[in-house]
Amino acid sequence: MGRVACVLAVLAVLALTLAAPWQARAADPLPEPRGHVILRVTGAIEICNEGKAAAFDRAMLEALPQETVATHTPWTEGRDTYTGVSLATLLARLGAHGSMIDAAALNDYVVNIPASDARLGVLIATRRNGQPMPVRDKGPLWIIYPLDSQPELDGKETRAKMIWQLKSLHIR
Amino acid sequence: MTRRTEGLGRWVAFAAVLLFVVALIGAGIQLNREQSVRFRSYRTGVWHLVQAQVELLRLRDALDRYMLHRTATARNDLQMRFDIFWSRIPVVLESEEAATIRELPGVVPTFRRILDDLPGWDHELRRLLAGEDGAYTGLIEDFDELVAPLQALTHTPVEADNLGGKTLEARLSELTIAFGALFVAGAFVILVLLRQLGIAERLRDDARFAAAQASEARRHLSDVLQSVDAGITFVDAEGRLQLVNGQMRRYYPALSDRLAPGTNWVALLHDSVARGIIRTSLDAEPWLADRLARATGGGATFEQELADGRVLLIGERRTADGGLVTVRTDVTALRRARVALEHRLAAIEASFDGIAMLDREVRYTYASAAFARLLGATGAERLEGRELERSLVPEDRARLARVMIPEARQYGAWRGEVTALRADGTTVPIEINLKPLPDDGSAGASRFGDTGGFICVARDLTERHRAEAAREALAEQFHFAQKLDALGRLASGIAHDFNNILAAIQGHAAVLVHDLRPGSNERRIAERIVQSGERGKELVDQVLAFARAESVERRPVDLRDVVEGMRQVLRASVPEAVPFEVSLPDAAVPVLANTTQISQVLLNLCINARDAIEDRAGRIVLTLAVVPAPGTPGRGASPEDYAGASALHVGGDTASGRTVLSVGALAAAPGYARLAVRDDGCGIERAVALRMFDPFFTTKPPGKGTGLGLSAVQGITVGHGGRIVVDTRVGAGTTFTLYLPLADPAALAEPAPAAGRGQVRNGIIVVDDDELVGGALATRLERAGYEVSFCHDGEEALELFEAAPAAVDAVVTDLVMPGVDGLSVARRMLARRPDLVVVLCTGNADRIDREALAAAGGAIEVLLKPVDMRVLRRRLRERLDRLPRVAAE
């Protein structure tokens, strides 16, 4: 009995330690965007700040845990460093629970991204080489797949999913 | 080409091939990649071109909308559309995806001009948004001006997209096909090259291997030739010895110096016969010619005898190139074995016993001549292949499978009698010995079990059966003789004593007859006594005749006289109604015989004939004839008559009731007297005939026959060295035929008549312990005119003799007496008077010690008791008449 209780206690502690930040963050209400909204997330999400949508300005996105991916792309010359929030972090922050994401660009180009791609380290880049990306240079947001660290990803499908001038995400 | 350069060439070829393949593969991969990249980049490039055009159009729309509704949204939208359009230009000019499209003519200059114009348009747009509407016109004109070339740029690839894409694809496919064809051609060339190289190498290897093998094969062949147990030579087409092995030299040690490659073969052959190595009756030249003739054909196999006794089997074969291979094998042992086998086969063939070999199915595989003869399978009738059981009568066929074969297998042999069925259907009793052979090893089981065949030895039992039958007949005859002997001893013992009594009665009765007055009653009585005594004596004589036939004395007589003398008596014994015929030859029939006994035989036979006829109307025929000895030319008698040496023989055939019986073995003689008595009576049944010579056997009612008649006839005949043949048929009659050896006719001469009776009175001493017998004898001798003194024993007689030896001329003494016996008396008297006539009387002649008789000296007469007075008188007369001194009266 004692041993079972001990194991259960350890498991409980572990669960709390690991789950607490998620739960805390998931439970955190999203602040209102104060600046120009550059990303709007809709669909199967739990955290919203604009009706059934979650609207983000640049500051809100950059307030989220930032990650960096260094890679080259078929549309740029040389290798660049991209910084932004990872898709996984964003989905977790919003308590998203879908399997497919419809990503749309400013020019209304839409592409379907499986939610499982979040595990590949997909980044919603806000900066290239530390500089914010203007619309004229594929900004403000660009979905970056780590093509250099995972060369097997490079291909027609991945290139299609690497949508720039990202405007919105719809989780379903 | 040396091996080194060969290897180098191979490696170079291999490297070239490898290089070609690698290059080809690399090229293929490169081509494929380029193809896909080019294709993809073309597509995406066109897409980027179209996007640029689309964004230009949207920008123009956004500009127009802003000019109509100067809202914040429209303002932001215009700003965003301009930014988006801007973002499209570097993509076309710089991105990897648009690389292909950049190659299209006009794309790069157009987009570079747009890129150059963008800052200007940005400036004008800021002015417009700042409220200077005049900027609009410049912008919209620039944009409209740009639409056409962009559209043109876009149209070319988009139109070509359907056509050009296909063209590109087709071109790529052609390229691919060409590449494939090149690859196949190159691969083919390489494969052919490799194959040629491989074949060349394999051929070289094969050649090397074949050479090595040939070398090894030559070595093996040499080893084989040297070690093989046969002499081998090879002579080439030129007649030179090319090859000769060691065994060949050992076969011909005397020729070993010449047995070397290069020797002229014909010269060698010549030497072999010239040196006397080969045993031949031919000279060297003819032998050589014969030997060479054998070798001229395709080949021959023959045996060669060497001078030292060895035999070689020579096999010669011509080779295709005219050479001659000769193989010699020593078959001396084989030849010896063959000869030994032939000898054994000859021994088997020579055996009187039939010998056959049978296979497991009990079929003949071999049958010796004797065997075939035994079964009558001669000539074309071969036994081989036929079953043994077909040689047996049906009863024995079942025995063969059920008894003979199983027992032969179980006990290692079966021996016994079977009846064989000969080829001609007759049967023959044979004894066979069936011996199983070891398993011959052939597979499968026969219906007689699964072991080997048999040896069958057969012997004809016909002779043995005949011999056994003869032996049985002899045994029967022996028993018959033994029975007669026993009866004879018994009878003679009785007869001896009985005779003494009879002699006394007769003697005294004779005295009475002599003394009594003739015609008186007393004298008639006395005469009856004498007659009865005579009949009693006859009976005793018959007993003695059958018992001791040889004891009677015989002398030469003419049988005609005997028959003639008995004629009246015989006639009287047969009823007058029965005709009695007597047939006598003209010439004398001299036979050494006892007249009394022959008379007795005749009387017995006639009485039997009379009894056989009884009341029938039959007749009796008595014939006397002389027949020659068997084997003498001209003899007319049938074999049954008197031929054959067997003592007792029974023949005839039971169905017709005829029985032919013969008794007695004929003594050798130049001829025989045949005395036959035939009647037409009832005949004799076989069972009776077989016993009719037995003493005391009779079929007559009591009182009528003694059962001794035919016994006496048989005894007398056999005693005379004769033979009786009885041929009888029931209801038809019987013939008794006697064969008696003929005597020398000269012996018939009668002795000179004696001197007149009574003229000489010789002194005789009669000695007998039996007063009756001796007294009667003395009385009768006195009557006969002799001076007789009777003594009761030997001592008395000797005293009397000693008193006056000269007065005694003869002594008649009984042999067996108490005290001094007759022989002693005779010996003592003879010692004194060697010329004394001595007569020994005995009831049994066998009791006389012949040696003692001879040792006594002088001539001792022996007479059997009861003494026949006529014989005694005749003997005395003969002897006394020859005495030198004649007693004077």
pLDDT-based confidence at residue B7 (cuts at 50, 70, 90)? low
How close, in Å, is residue B98 to chain A by CA atoms? 9
The arithmetic mean of pLDDT across residues B472-476, rounded, is 78
Q: How far is CA A127 from CA A68, A69, B619, B877, in A?
A: 9, 10, 185, 203
Task: Determine whether the interchain pair A75/B95 forms a contact, defined as Cβ–Cβ distance below 8 Å.
Answer: yes
CA-based R_g, chain A, Å: 18
Q: Which of B50, B83, B87 to mutate to test the interface with A (most CBs of A within 10 A)?
A: B87
Q: Is the pLDDT of residue B646 over 50?
A: no
> What percent of chain B clears pLDDT 70, i.e. is strictly above it?
86
B87 to chain A: closest CA residue: A136
Distance from CA of B159 to the nearest CA of A (A): 23
Name the residue of chain B whose CA is nearest to A137's CA: B87
3-state secondary structure of A67: strand
Are A107 and B96 within 8 A, CB to CB?
Answer: no
The more confidently predicted of residues B726 and B646 is B726
Question: Looking at the DSSP assignment, which residues form a beta bridge with residue B481?
Answer: none
Q: In angstroms, what separates the C-alpha of A161 from chain B's closest C-alpha?
A: 14
pLDDT exceeds cutoff 80 at B278: yes
Note the ipTM here. Answer: 0.77
The H or E element containing residue B647 is none
Of B54, B84, B94, the CB nearest to A106: B84
Whether the per-residue pLDDT at B760 is higher than 50: the answer is no
Closest chain A residue to the Cα of B119, Cα to Cα: A136
Cβ within 8 Å, pair A136-B51: no
Task: Please enumerate residues of B whose Cβ is less than 8 A from a Cβ of A.
Answer: 40, 44, 51, 54-55, 58, 80, 83-84, 86-87, 90-91, 94-97
Lowest mean pLDDT among A11-15, A168-172, B488-492, B768-772: A11-15
The answer to whether the beta carbons of residues B357 and B339 sit under 8 Å apart is no
**Mean pLDDT of the residues in chain B:** 80
Q: What value does the mean pLDDT take over residues B667-695?
A: 85
Q: How far is CA B350 from the centre of its chain?
A: 14
Residue of A nearest to B93 (CA): A75
3-state secondary structure of B419: strand
Q: Which residues fall within 8 angstroms of residue B675, CB to CB, at 6 or more apart?
A: B559, B563, B602, B622, B623, B624, B737, B738, B740
CB B541 within 8 A of CB B600: yes
pLDDT at B71 over 60: yes
**Residue B606 reports pLDDT greater than 80:** yes
Among the partner-chain residues B40, B84, B91, the one whose CB lies closest to the CB of A75 is B91
Averaged pLDDT, B200-224: 87
Q: What is the pLDDT of residue A138?
A: 85
pLDDT-based confidence at B638, cuts 50/70/90?
very low
Q: Enter the pTM of the model.
A: 0.34
pLDDT tens, position by position, B141-171: 888 888 888 877 777 666 655 555 566 666 6
pLDDT digits (tens, 9 = 90+) for B409-426: 888 899 999 999 888 888
Q: Across the interface, do B94 and A76 touch by the CB < 8 Å criterion? A: yes
Is the per-residue pLDDT at B2 higher than 60? no
Instruction: Name the closest residue on chain A to residue B76, using Cα atoms.
Output: A36
pLDDT at B723: 87
Would you call A60 helix, strand, or coil by DSSP?
helix
Q: Are A72 and A79 in contact, with CB atoms under 8 Å apart? A: yes
A108/chain B closest Cα distance in angstroms: 11
Interface A–B counts its CB contacts (< 8 A) at 36
User: Which residue among B58, B86, B95 places its CB closest to the CB of A74?
Assistant: B95
Q: DSSP string covering B13-70, please?
A: HHHHHHHHHHHHHHHHHHHHHHHHHHHHHHHHHHHHHHHHHHHHHHHHHHHHHHHH--
* Interchain proximity B80–A137, CB inside 8 Å: no
Which residue did the predictor score with more confidence, B439 or B361? Answer: B361
pLDDT digits (tens, 9 = 90+) for A97-121: 888 889 998 888 888 888 888 888 8
Contact across the interface for B94 and A165, Cβ inside 8 Å: no
Check pLDDT > 70 for residue A6: no
- The b-or-e profile of B122-160 (16+ CB within 10 A means b, else e) is eebbebbeeeeeebbeebeeebeebeeebeebbebbbeb
Above pLDDT 90, what percent of chain B? Answer: 4
Break chain B down into helix, strand, coil percent, rounded to 5. 55, 20, 25
Q: Which of B653, B650, B574 is nearest to B606 (CA)?
A: B574
Across the interface, do A135 and B54 touch by the CB < 8 Å criterion?
Answer: no
Rounded Cα distance between B531 and B222, Å, is 125
Measure in Å the smallest separation between the Cα of B47 and chain A Cα atoms: 12
pLDDT in tens, B326-354: 999 988 998 899 999 999 989 988 888 89
How is residue A79 written in tokens? 């290798």
Report pLDDT digits (tens) over B76-107.
Answer: 888 888 888 888 888 888 887 777 778 777 88
Which residue in chain A has the smallest CA separation from B115?
A: A136
Q: Which residues of A fall within a CB distance of 8 Å from B40?
A: 156
pLDDT at A13 over 80: no
Show residues of chain A in contact with B86, CB under 8 Å. 135-136
**CA–CA gap between residue B242 and residue B265 (Å, rounded):** 10
- Testing the interface with A: which of B37, B48, B83, B93 to mutate, by most A Cβ within 10 A? B83
Distance from CA of B29 to the nearest CA of A (A): 17
In 3D space, the residue among B100, B57, B107 whose CA is nearest the CA of residue B82 turns out to be: B57
Neighbours of B95 (CB within 10 A): 20
Residues of A with CB under 8 A from a CB of B: 74-77, 106-107, 134-138, 156, 159, 164-165
What is d(CA B17, CA A31) in angstroms, rounded to the nearest whole number?
Answer: 71
The span from the CA of B141 to the CA of B378, in Å, is 148
To the nearest whole Å, the CA of A138 is away from the closest chain B CA by 6
Judged by CB atoms closer than 8 Å, whether chains meet at A107 and B97 is answered as no
Q: Please report which confidence band the pLDDT of residue B73 belongs to, taking 50, 70 and 90 as the band edges.
A: confident
Query: Which residues 6+ apart lie within 8 Å of B772 measured at CB?
Result: B500, B501, B503, B504, B505, B507, B508
- Residue of chain A nearest B96, judged by CA positions: A74
Taking only the tens place, the pLDDT of each residue in B800-845 is 888 878 778 888 888 888 888 888 888 888 888 878 888 888 877 6
**Backbone φ and ψ of B840, nearest 5°:** -100, 130
- Who among A74, A76, A138 is closest to B87 (CB)? A138
In the predicted model, is pLDDT for residue A23 greater than 70?
A: no
Q: Which chain A residue lies closest to B91 (C-alpha atoms)? A: A75
- What is the rounded distance in angstroms from the CA atom of residue B375 to the CA atom of residue B185? 93
Which residues in B lie closer than 8 A to residue A165 (C-beta atoms)?
84, 87
Most confident of B8-17, B184-193, B389-398, B534-543: B389-398
Q: How does the average pLDDT of chain A come out, rounded?
A: 81
Q: By CA distance, what is A165's nearest residue in B?
A: B84
pLDDT at B408 over 60: yes
Q: Rounded to 10 degrees, what is the CA torsion of B100, B103, B108, B110?
A: -100
> Which of B129 and B646 is assigned the larger pLDDT?
B129
CB contact (8 A) between residue A77 and residue B94: yes
Contact A156 B90 (CB under 8 A): no
**Lowest model confidence (mean pLDDT) among B28-32, B693-697, B728-732, B748-752:** B748-752
Contacts 24+ apart (CB under 8 A), B117-125: B117/B142, B118/B86, B118/B89, B121/B82, B122/B82, B122/B86, B125/B78, B125/B79, B125/B82
Three-state DSSP state, A112: strand
